[in-house]
A and B are shown apart, each in its own frame.
Chain A
Amino acid sequence: MISTDSVTTTNTTFKEPGGTTTRGRILVAKPGLDGHDRGARLVALVLRDAGFEVIYTGIRQTPATIASAAVQEDVDVVGLSILSGAHLSLSKKVLEALKEAGGGDIPVVVGGLIHPPDVPVLMEMGVAAVFPSGTRLDEVVRGIGEACTGRRL
């Protein structure tokens, strides 16, 4: 078994309709054609270990499918994993699709091979947090926890 002891946890917890306690519902998605999903699966596994409810879409999702899944599943955060270099245009499309699907208030975070100069561009676009490859797992967990809190407050 993998130890999760080292994951820094915050005290944000939510009561689900069913009565179970979760730190938040996350949709982990891979938009675009790229199939390198090690990062997406890593984050999904670690978030689950850290007490989040994780829905992983699998690879090759269109922005429209991601948006409708996010709204349908009533998630607190959408996490995009992008390694193909197309993060600017793909993130923009997902943000737009979310607005169209009525989920414009759902925070979007982006992780993957993100060149440092692109981080402020993504933030400007409306992305809530960026986790370039090399970000520590506990930072990802904390950042996503914060994004969840932001929405529920």
Chain B
Amino acid sequence: MTDNTNTANSPEGDIPSQTLEDIAKARQEWLTSRDFTGVREAHTLLDDIPLDLIYTPADLPGYNYLEKLGFPGEFPFARGSYPAMYRRRPWLMNQYSGFGTADDTNARWKRLLASGQWSVNLAFDLPSHLGLDSDNPMAEDEVGRLGCAIDTLRDFEILFDGIDLATTPASFNTVGIAPIVIAMLIAVAEKQGLQASDVMGTITNDILSVYCSRGTWIYPPEHSMRLATDLIEYACRNMPRFNPLNVQPVYMRETGASTAQEGGYGLAFSLAYAESAMARGLSVDEVAPRLTIFFGASFRVFEEAAKIRAARRVWADTIQSRYSPGKKSSMGLRITGSSGGSGFIAEEPLTNVIRGTLGCLALVLGGVQGILLASYDEAYAIPTEEASKLGLRTQQIIYEESGCADVADPLGGSYYMEWLTDQMEERIRHYLEEVENAGGALHAVSSGWLRSRMDPNIVKLQRQAEEGLLKIVGKNAYIEERPSEPDIELFKVDPQSVSKQLQRLNAIKKERNERDVNEVLAKLRKQAKDSNTNLMPILIEAVKAYATVGEISAVFKEEFGEWSEPAA
């Protein structure tokens, strides 16, 4: 153990420097008087921040409480983005669900709502993400497989049957077809007697993240950015209760980004969208409060909480220094998050329940506004209903029974926590600047540069796990004999779903007024050519005429072209 504290030459903080020196001296005496030989080294995951055995006030020289922490809902927002935090209301508890057809998903949503979930979150199947109708030959084998198939407004009508959009927030995890999806949401809300301004919820709409991971892009980056910005602008002007962007650095985490890279790159993306929307004539106060960010959480509780706290501080500081906002909410970053993903193991699926609980705890202690907890069977398949419900139950238990939600920022003031938050902040700032210096977010992702920054980490993680340096219980540590097949029930897609979906699509194409469809698609094409036209109004018209997701996307593909990734 080394003494790496330096209290000399620091500005006077809350604790007099004489006291800090006394503590540092006492700490040194303790270190030399005891035997620490053979004590293992420790560091954070991937960022490799070396960790000392213990942290004291001497690790925080010159620490000024009011500058560094302050109060929840106040600059620099380290302690939370809302004054009363979870005493006012719990975080939004979301479980990702969607499979088969709209009827299947609607039925599952109703059961989740009955067990206390108060929002719905739609997973789309791959053809929908990519703008392909269910009857497209490319869609074969994939219709309804990884999420719900959406072809026309009729699917949305069925999906939201019996679900009041004025009281139930609806979240959508999709990017390439995001403007079409929100056009459908508005159209279906109107059928419920509501307006665009009534609907609540959020949509991913983060095209930058999918160019460097997940890969559900369709068009070249600049055209995708235009579509994303059209939706952001439209929502900022017309949908005060709906968040048109949920930046997804969690995807980069899954492709090797370290904890701090996730924070820095994610904030760089958020700023890029804010800039793009402000270029449409919106003010920082109209845009910034509408953007949210979605982080992944590993099971390393303190690192994740530190990242979340540090990200809020970096965002607040950056927005303040660059744009001088008038509203506090422009600086209070709203964060949602998930835990699970590639950290879950297939070998002993039930151990993932515990991992998910730890990740969830990290997010709650960090003070996030929404959590989507992966189901323990996710390492194998899309979640069974039972596993999905357990994810919700985990969140409810943490909220109601653990006491973790009773006090805002309960980790604040821990010497370790504050030291680690400072460490994360420094690195998050570094990675944010790295992207901006590399030509901006759009260039950094479309050139493949950002991906190359993360690639080495996937090899490193895999090797660390294989060599036992990174211990994963039940996978490479404490392994015992077990049957080769996992003893859990796996979800299966009903093969009838595909034929049902195809029949429905076919029926719509026969029922709708073909002339209306052709006219609206021609208008759409004309407006797509003009990058100064916001495409949302015409998209709403198009979906109301029952133009399909595939037909609309085909117009865009013809006008914008399709993108392929740079060679790796």
Q: Which residues of A contact B (CB under 8 A)?
A: 1-3, 6, 32-38, 41-42, 44-46, 49, 56, 58-60, 62, 84-86, 89-90, 113, 115-117, 133-134, 136-138
Contact = CB atoms under 8 A, between A and B. Distances in A.
B455 interface: yes
B381 A85 contact: yes
Contacts of B381: 85
Interface of B: 126-127, 129-130, 132, 138-142, 145-146, 210, 213-216, 254-256, 342, 346-347, 380-381, 455-456, 458-460, 462-463, 466-467, 475, 484-485, 490, 564-565, 567-568
16 contacts: A33-B129, A33-B139, A35-B210, A35-B213, A36-B254, A37-B255, A41-B255, A41-B455, A42-B458, A45-B456, A58-B565, A60-B130, A86-B145, A89-B141, A134-B346, A134-B475
A35 B255 contact: no
A116 B484 contact: yes
Contacts of B142: 32-33, 84, 86
Contact of B254 (A3, A38, A113): A38
Contact of A6 (B129, B254, B463, B484): B463
A133 B347 CA distance: 10
A117 B565 contact: no
B98 to A, nearest CB: 15
B126 A34 contact: yes
5 smallest CB-CB distances across A and B, nearest first, come from A35-B215, A33-B126, A86-B141, A59-B215, A58-B565
A62 B126 CA distance: 15
A28 to B, nearest CB: 10
Contacts of B254: 36, 38
A131 B543 CA distance: 44
A110 to B, nearest CB: 15
Contacts of B380: 113, 115
Contacts of A90: 141
Q: Which of B459, B466, B467 has the most C-beta atoms of chain A within 10 angstroms of its own C-beta?
A: B459
A42 B456 CA distance: 9
Given A3-B463, A41-B455, A134 B347 contact: yes
Nearest to A45: B459
Nearest to A42: B458
Given A45-B456, A84-B126, 20 more contacts: A32-B126, A33-B130, A34-B146, A36-B215, A37-B213, A38-B256, A38-B342, A44-B568, A45-B455, A58-B564, A58-B565, A85-B145, A85-B146, A86-B142, A86-B145, A89-B141, A90-B141, A117-B485, A133-B346, A134-B347
